[in-house]
Structure 1
Amino acid sequence: MRYLVVSDLHGNWPALEAVLREARDYDAVLFLGDAVGYYPDANRVLDWLRSVNARGVMGNHDLWLLEIGSMQIDGPVLEILAWQAERLSPENRAYLKGLPWTLEVEGALLVHGSPLDPLAYLEELEQAREVFARTSHRLIFHGHTHLAGSYLALEKPGQERLVRYQNYARGGELIVAPKARAIINPGSIGQPRDGVVGAAYAIWDVQEDTIEFHRTRYDLEQVLARLHHEQFPMWLYERLVLGK
């Protein structure tokens, strides 16, 4: 079984469309949260997630959109979510409402942030050590930080758990040894923050115990045109140009 693993799509349809043109060799889709926010095409992204029966989890932007009516609108991020909420189809709203905070697939745990707090960023070595110490899953897939990479843990008799981090912003393959455990972030399709331009995603091959990290370039002018059309702030385009 091969899974396309996507995270932090953030309404960026041109980025997702480029990934779909490139990533063809997979059997099902896993979604790590944040379909909405930032870019204008939240409905189109959610239409696709529903069309492929993506199995996924709730992200913080997904939650904020659902609760926007009870939140005080303050700042461009929430203003964009309010704009999206007004236009969200009933079917896509129902899909978001049905997303759990965590999900187990093939023995792996899916979560948007940290297994210890789905809304928290997991971005430090000490945090990874705590997650490994307090969970039992061999593989954990998460998003939220928009950084493609993995934490790998290996326990040796008589030694403290060895944990290291590997950056996969420029792609690569992680082979998980039989006695190793891994926390895996495929990176963001919608808005990478690791300094590398393009849409990030991963392919998880269950039988081979491998995770392939990919970065797909696409025409950023398509996003710029959408931002202009909907009068969204231009810093959203600048972040894509810089990859952070």
Structure 2
Amino acid sequence: MRYLIASDIHGALPAAEMLVARFREEGADRLLLLGDLLYHGPRNPLPEGYAPAQVAKLLNGLADRITAVRGNCDSEVDQMVLNFPCLGDYALVVDERTTLLLTHGHLDLAAAVAGLPAGSFVLSGHTHVKGIGPEAAPAFAKGIAAARGTSEEEGAGTFAAPAVTFVNPGSIGHPKDGSASYAIYEHGTVELHQL
């Protein structure tokens, strides 16, 4: 399977339109959304083209191909306008023999991450900064170190298992590293792409 992974749309219609176009161009089988879909949150300025109702309508056109999790800006009100589940704190997707844990990244899921099989991927957004590797999941470092019974310093950089890969696709609607981005997963590999 080929998955397009995106996070943090924050109601930005132009970015969501580009995302849907890229989903089709990439020939992806499913769209994995890592939260913060419609609302911009009180800490963020309004994104360009802020139109959450239109973003919901656009995403609803792909409802049968979306797997989504709840971000810290998502709520029951958002679920009322979306035709796919979006309020789970995390979801597991199993592709062949590879487990993908989807989460927004704002919750401590250290125990769940520590229990993943070798070769798994932890997909999270929240920071609006793209990356692959331990730096892609700073919110997990302390909790995973605690789950392993090590100090935060000892746990830094090693995480739950060396064979678990952390991926942050960055942000579609509010990038904090200069460019909107997403990730593509296929056959056990992940690549980051500019939107």
Who is 1:143 aligned against?
125
Say if 2:101 is the partner of 1:109: yes
TM-score after normalising by structure 1: 0.55
**3-state secondary structure, aligned to 1:180:** coil
The Cα offsets for residues 67-92 of structure 1, whole Å up to 9 and x where unpaired, read as xxxxxxxxxxxxxxxxxx6xx79433
Q: 1:41 to 1:32 in 2, by over 3 A?
A: same
Q: Among 179, 182, 185, which residue is 1:204 paired with?
A: 185
Q: 1:95 to 1:132 in 2, by over 3 A?
A: closer
Q: 1:20 to 1:50 in 2, by over 3 A?
A: closer
The Cα offsets for residues 24-43 of structure 1, whole Å up to 9 and x where unpaired, read as 22111111000122342112
Matched-pair contact (CA < 8 Å) for 2:116–2:164: no
**3-state secondary structure, aligned to 1:48:** helix
The Cα offsets for residues 206-241 of structure 1, whole Å up to 9 and x where unpaired, read as x2x11121112xxxxxxxxxxxxxxxxxxxxxxxxx
Uncovered stretches (5+) of structure 1, i.e. residues with no partner: 67-84, 118-129, 154-159, 165-178, 217-244
Who is 1:125 aligned against?
none
Amino acid at match of 1:103: A
Who is 2:150 aligned against?
none
State how far apart, in whole Å, the 1-side matches of 2:124 and 2:36 are: 11
Say if 2:157 is the partner of 1:163: yes
TM-score after normalising by structure 2: 0.68
Uncovered stretches (5+) of structure 2, i.e. residues with no partner: 41-46, 136-153
Q: How many residues align?
A: 157
Q: CA deviation at 1:152?
A: 5.0
Q: Among 174, 180, 185, which residue is 2:163 paired with?
A: 180
RMSD: 3.1
State how far apart, in whole Å, the 1-side matches of 2:22 and 2:128 are: 20
Matched-pair contact (CA < 8 Å) for 2:33–2:68: yes
Determine which structure has the larger helix proportion and give its number. Answer: 1
Q: Among 30, 37, 44, which residue is 2:32 paired with?
A: 30
Who is 2:142 aligned against?
none
Q: 1:192 to 1:131 in 2, by over 3 A?
A: farther
- Please tell me whether Structure 1 or Structure 2 has the larger radius of gyration of its CA atoms: 1
Percent pairwise identity:
32
